[in-house]
Structure 1
Amino acid sequence: MKRLAGTVLGLLFAQVCCVQGVDMEQSPPALSLQEGASYTLQCNFSTFPQSVSWYLQNPGGCIIHLFYIPSGTKKDGRLNATTVPKEGRSSLHISSSQTTDSGTYFCAVQ
């Protein structure tokens, strides 16, 4: 059976948190994945963090650590994370999305 490139693969969800006085917000709150498309998730925080980590909780419930990134840019395959502490933001870019990218994404600030 042929698969359409526009087939919805799953949903990405972002979490909003407040940890130890650090307000942070992720956007977008939810989106539908399309196979082969690219997506960027943004994490904004109110204070300068010591570090930022990105996680994925897959549909089976397993939490996977994707990146530890205090500042700068890191790349791992189709995933690319950037943190700019002075601007209070971090982003996670997913290129050429696949079914394994479905799940809930978390940005954690320490």
Structure 2
Amino acid sequence: MARKHPKTRHAKLRRLPAAVLEKTAQALEIPPDFTGGMLHVELSGNREAVVEGNCSILEYDDTIIRLHAGKYTLRFTGRGLSMRNLRKNYAIIEGYILSVEYL
């Protein structure tokens, strides 16, 4: 008689606390943004910024964009600012960027 395999049940994955992720990143000598605990911002001159990490929009017009990301608020100021490719973990900010601030 063929043996039946028990049904596999997928346990729900739970998110580890930020402190655990930061300590793990330090111990493994990897950047903390790889563990999901921080934002990664990449600027291409003063015309484009790519923001990776879980963030939401607090303020948005053509002169200021404020993003909330965990314990940080990221503020872009400039002229003709716009956002494209906005997703849960990814956004591109375009325009003439005058400043980027962590608040």
TM-score by length of 2: 0.29
More strand by share: 1
Larger Rg: 2
| Higher RCO, Cα 8 Å, sep 6+ | 1
Q: Which has the higher helix share?
A: 2
